[in-house]
Amino acid sequence: MYHKVLHPPVSIDSYLPFLSDQFAEELTSLAKELGHLRFVHLNSTETGGGVAEILQSMVPLMNALGIATERIVIDPPSEFFQVTKRIHNLLQGAEGSLSKEELEVYYGSVRQVADDLRRRPVAADVWFFHDPQLLPLAGLLPRTSQEIRIWIGHIDFTTPNPSVLDTLLPLVHDYDRLIFSLPSYVPARLSETPPVSIAPPAIDPLSVKNVALSESAAADITTALGIDPARPLITQVSRFDLWKDPWGVIDAFRLARNHVPGLQLALLGLSQATDDPEALDVLATVSNHAAQDPDIHLYFDASVLTCSIDEVVNAFQVASQVVIQKSTREGFGLTVTEAMWKAKPVIGGDVGGIRIQIDDAVNGYLVSSPEECAQRLVQLLQDPQLRARLGEAARESVRERFLMPRLAFDYLQAAKAHAFSAAETASTPST
């Protein structure tokens, strides 16, 4: 019911060119303080989606910092993901409530993971449980007084559905600390315990998806996938998901094309997260909306690729004049960071975590409708200097705030807040 995932090792030296000397020193000395602890990260999917993306870099980075860190992915039945997708939607504000049967599937599946972890225990001092899928797990596992349990919520909790919040909120008391992406996501009723940290996600500048790729190499990849390199291209990279508003992107594209003849649109939803059973239904309606327009390219079948999904994502972000992320809810939006790192102007939905990344009209644009999106598209597509200026500001803001070593630092600090009090508890003789 769970398996361990191994990631290739990395050296901390590879990250140093991206860090200031002062930050590199702070990070390595914090890691040294915690070097005696074993960490484990648990999540629900090995690949696909933002959390898997973060963990495949975070786990090797923590090991490179001298902290023995493992990754565990749970293997629940497929109906678990039907329920957790509903929970995800409800926590992001969808209407409705969870049925008794759904709750049974949810708790029953997590209980099976807990049973398996009892049969095949994992030795760790600091546990990071990622996202609502794992929320009931801490309460089902035996614990020693030294263990530190941290739950990390990566989604947009701005307007959670109250019924699902009432159901799930008591579970947080099985954790020593909670981590949210933004201060505004912390549910008001959580003002007391457990303590909360804020840690916005980050990207890995060394990953295949984010390493420097030349424009010509990018064009080779996009051309092989049907894009005309002589005409302008705009892209949204996103799972086919309700909250990513692919229909709005198509509407904005059609409006913009009236002013920018020859414009092409790519919608990339290649890595279907296994916890996202709705993707195929969304894709069907998006495909309908695209109405076989030859300049709207929908990519969803990774089996036709001749290179990796990560290379394709990188290539489309590099080859696009403008990148869109027109989400209507977004916990953070790693795709925004990825494109900004490539010095692209990004037009993002004015929601959630996109707001802390895009400073409107400084390093990108925030929009609230297809019309506004189209207007910004036309402005950017007609003005190469504006694109270059916003793009450079975008890259610099990612370098300063949203690279993986900063997130590792935040996670280590969250652990440190408990590591020493746990050690004190352990050494206090019982009376």
Using CB under 6 A as the criterion, which residues of the chain lie in contact with ligand UDP when the complex forms?
49-50, 53, 209, 237-239, 268-271, 309, 313, 332-335, 338
Which residues have a Cβ under 8 Å from the Cβ of 254 and sit 6 or more positions away? none
Beta partners for 184? none
Q: Torsions phi, psi of 145, nearest 5?
A: -65, -25
The three-state secondary structure class of 152 is: strand
Q: Which is nearer to ligand UDP, 194 or 277 (CB)?
A: 277
Q: Which residue is nearest to ligand UDP (CB)?
A: 50
- Least separation in angstroms between CB 349 and ligand UDP: 12
- Least separation in angstroms between CB 269 and ligand UDP: 5
Q: How many helices (H) and strands (E) does the chain have?
A: 14, 13
- Least separation in angstroms between CB 209 and ligand UDP: 6
What is the C-alpha separation between 95 and 78, in angstroms, rounded?
A: 23
CA dihedral 416, 149, 399, 10 (to 10 degrees): 90
Taking every pair of C-alpha atoms in the chain, what is the biggest distance, in angstroms?
80
- Least separation in angstroms between CB 272 and ligand UDP: 8
- Least separation in angstroms between CB 332 and ligand UDP: 5
Q: Which is nearer to ligand UDP, 349 or 370 (CB)?
A: 349
Residue with tokens 């990566």: 154
Q: For the chain, how big is the Rg over CA atoms in Å?
A: 22
Report CA-CA distances (Å) from 314 to 202, 216, 218, 272: 16, 12, 8, 17
From the centroid of its chain, how far is CA 66? 25
Q: Which is nearer to ligand UDP, 112 or 235 (CB)?
A: 235
- Least separation in angstroms between CB 113 and ligand UDP: 21
Q: Which is nearer to ligand UDP, 92 or 363 (CB)?
A: 92
Q: Which is nearer to ligand UDP, 70 or 311 (CB)?
A: 311
- Least separation in angstroms between CB 307 and ligand UDP: 13
The three-state secondary structure class of 69 is: strand
Q: Which is nearer to ligand UDP, 101 or 301 (CB)?
A: 301
- Least separation in angstroms between CB 368 and ligand UDP: 19
Q: Which is nearer to ligand UDP, 62 or 242 (CB)?
A: 242
What is the C-alpha separation between 248 and 353, in angstroms, rounded?
A: 19
Q: Which is nearer to ligand UDP, 357 or 375 (CB)?
A: 357
Q: Hey, what are 215's tokens?
A: 């424009």
- Provide the residue type at 227 as one letter: I
Long-range contacts of 279-284 (CB under 8 A, 24+ apart): 279/239, 279/240, 279/241, 280/240, 282/240, 282/241, 282/242, 282/246, 283/240
